[in-house]
């Protein structure tokens, strides 16, 4: 590793340099994309930006930032970290399942990247500050060693952070016999949650998972702050609570998806965009259906989704990870029966482009926070179907707190229960055709306008980012 004593950080006689920011996203598309949006924003403020990644993840980042002046540095990802994680797997999107059993060794293995990371840092121009994913806890040690502040990126909102902290600090989930018993939060008495609203890694972590979680939290608490992909007007009570009662400070600089470059005109257009264009000409409203890149859905559940969409007689665009995963029943007959009003896509799509298409008027979603924010920005109401991680809390926020969507109905009424075709058909119709859907549609359009104002010059997120830059750069040692 290069000697730190020979780096520019310890040379006070060097001339002043441009502000330079390091971004280090976690190896997962949902964690990476928001920080790449942030990269573009920092570049627009005349900062130099270096993004760290791994060789297998670099092509995606290079493509995303191809029209920018950002620098990209890749460092090796550890190999042989788990018998079920093949060599070359450098993103959670490529894991066979995102469970504690595989996620923990994957996340813990990133610690072995620290020497290469610091060697690369030693050859960079002076760093003003760093934003790294909260899962990369060890980057705080590197930032401290090199004398610049580290901010942690959390992929979720203030609501989820405040509710999780309140449940943990007040020990509300201990001694609860039923996973589905509603529990009132004394700090937020209008909110009721269940144990199933929290991932098992939070309520009943393995020893390895508990160690990782506590190490990550300690690093976050000792960081300069949190970069949060939200905006003040969306959740003011929770931003204020976090910044007065918790910490470190949450800097709400989003929605980051509002800041992406305008898509280039592509020739030819993707077939799904051409299909949506036809629906626009017809005056048809389309339900967009997508559950992210990591949710694992059983063949039985996918079959119920297909039945519901077919029986609903609604227009729909369904993005599914791999149709071949459901080959026991999936064939051309379903697509033939819904031909004309339904389209199934099993490849990567530009979700923001779809949500902003004029024909799309509803979103059946797993309620990952990136997807929720994209829908809010597009003014598209959400039918929330939480699958994993903090998504049940996002679903509560969407349906109960900010009221920009509805929730699916499970067979047993639980958060994570099975959803039958009949119940799903009822809810998609409610979202797309009934008064309840119109109410949430009106609300989400109001928040969409607030989101647009937040990122404009002088808006709350615009000002917050400028304050973050100024304060973080003033802390440079």
Looking at residues 197-201, what average pLDDT do you find?
78
Residue 14 has pLDDT above 70, yes or no: no
Lowest mean pLDDT among 46-50, 292-296, 327-331, 454-458: 327-331
Residues 6+ away with beta carbon under 8 Å from 53: 25, 27, 32, 61, 72, 73, 74, 75
Distance from C-alpha of 431 to C-alpha of 347, rounded to nearest angstrom:
26
180-191: per-residue pLDDT in tens? 888 899 999 999
| Residue 475's pLDDT band (cuts 50, 70, 90) | confident
Residue 122 has pLDDT above 90, yes or no: yes
Distance from C-alpha of 32 to C-alpha of 309, rounded to nearest angstrom:
32
Amino acid 97: pLDDT: 67
Mean pLDDT of the chain: 88
Q: Which two tokens stand for residue 38?
A: 């942030």
| Residue 330's pLDDT band (cuts 50, 70, 90) | low
Distance from C-alpha of 96 to C-alpha of 321, rounded to nearest angstrom:
13
| Residue 438's pLDDT band (cuts 50, 70, 90) | very high
Lowest mean pLDDT among 85-89, 251-255, 339-343: 85-89
136-190: per-residue pLDDT in tens? 999 999 999 999 999 999 889 999 999 999 998 888 888 777 788 888 999 999 9
| Residue 451's pLDDT band (cuts 50, 70, 90) | very high
CB-based contact 390:199 (threshold 8 Å): yes
Lowest mean pLDDT among 85-89, 200-204, 456-460: 200-204
Residues 6+ away with beta carbon under 8 Å from 288: 316, 317, 319, 354, 355, 360, 362, 363, 364, 380
Looking at residues 370-380, what average pLDDT do you find?
96
The 3-state DSSP class for residue 286 equals: strand
Residue 82 has pLDDT above 90, yes or no: no
Q: Domains in the chain, start-ordered, CATH in brackets?
A: 4-260+455-474 (3.40.50.2000), 271-453 (3.40.50.2000)
Q: Which two tokens stand for residue 334?
A: 């379903």
Amino acid 3: pLDDT: 33
| Residue 431's pLDDT band (cuts 50, 70, 90) | very high
Residue 131 has pLDDT above 50, yes or no: yes
DSSP notation for 199-255: -HHHHS--HHHHHHHHHHHHHHHTSSEEEES--GGGSHHHHHHHHHHS-S-EEE---
CB-based contact 302:386 (threshold 8 Å): no
Lowest mean pLDDT among 70-74, 196-200, 371-375, 394-398: 196-200
CB-based contact 204:100 (threshold 8 Å): no
Looking at residues 76-92, what average pLDDT do you find?
83
39-62: per-residue pLDDT in tens? 999 999 999 999 999 999 999 999
Distance from C-alpha of 420 to C-alpha of 305, rounded to nearest angstrom:
8
Distance from C-alpha of 393 to C-alpha of 227, rounded to nearest angstrom:
19
DSSP bridge partners of 316: 287, 342
């Amino acid at each position: 590793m290069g000697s730190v004593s020979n780096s520019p950080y310890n040379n006070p006689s060097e001339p002043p340099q441009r502000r330079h920011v390091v971004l280090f996203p976690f190896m997962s598309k949902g964690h990476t994309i928001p920080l790449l949006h942030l990269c573009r924003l920092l570049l627009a403020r005349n900062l130099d930006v270096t993004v760290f990644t791994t060789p297998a993840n670099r092509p995606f980042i290079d493509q995303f930032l191809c029209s920018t002046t950002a620098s990209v540095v890749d460092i090796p990802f550890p190999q042989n970290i788990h018998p079920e994680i093949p060599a070359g797997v450098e993103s959670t999107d490529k894991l066979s399942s995102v469970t504690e059993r595989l996620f923990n060794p994957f996340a813990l293995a990133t610690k072995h990247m620290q020497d290469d990371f610091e060697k690369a840092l030693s050859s960079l121009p002076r760093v003003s500050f760093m934003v790294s994913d909260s899962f990369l806890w060890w980057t705080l040690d590197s930032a401290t060693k090199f004398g610049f502040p580290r901010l942690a990126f959390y992929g979720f909102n203030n609501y989820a952070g405040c509710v999780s902290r309140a449940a943990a600090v007040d020990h509300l989930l201990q001694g609860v016999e039923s996973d589905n018993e509603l529990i009132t939060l004394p700090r937020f008495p209008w909110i009721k949650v269940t144990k199933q609203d929290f991932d098992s890694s939070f309520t009943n972590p393995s020893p390895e998972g508990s160690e990782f979680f506590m190490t990550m939290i300690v690093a976050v608490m000792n960081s300069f702050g949190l970069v949060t992909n939200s905006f003040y007007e969306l959740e003011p009570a929770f931003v204020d609570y976090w910044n007065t009662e918790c910490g470190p400070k949450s800097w709400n600089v989003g929605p980051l998806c509002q800041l992406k470059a305008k898509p280039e005109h592509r020739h030819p257009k993707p077939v799904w965009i051409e299909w949506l264009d036809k629906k626009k000409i017809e005056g048809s409203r389309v339900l967009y259906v997508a559950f992210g890149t990591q949710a694992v859905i059983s063949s039985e559940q996918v079959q119920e989704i297909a039945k519901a969409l077919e029986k609903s007689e609604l227009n729909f665009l369904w993005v599914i990870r791999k149709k071949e995963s459901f080959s026991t029943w999936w064939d051309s007959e379903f697509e033939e029966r819904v031909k004309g009003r339904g389209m199934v896509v099993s490849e990567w799509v530009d979700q923001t482009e779809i949500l902003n298409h004029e024909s799309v008027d509803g979103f059946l979603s797993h309620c990952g926070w990136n997807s929720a924010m994209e829908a809010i920005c597009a003014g598209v109401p959400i039918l929330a179907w939480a699958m994993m991680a903090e998504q049940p809390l996002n679903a509560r926020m969407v349906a109960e707190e900010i009221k920009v969507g509805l929730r699916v109905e499970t067979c047993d009424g639980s958060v994570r229960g099975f959803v039958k075709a009949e119940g799903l058909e009822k809810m998609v119709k409610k979202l797309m055709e009934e008064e309840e859907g119109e109410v949430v549609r009106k609300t989400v359009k109001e928040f969409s306008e607030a989101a647009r104002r937040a990122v404009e010059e002088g808006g709350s997120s615009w000002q917050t980012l400028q304050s973050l830059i100024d304060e973080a750069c003033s802390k440079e040692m």
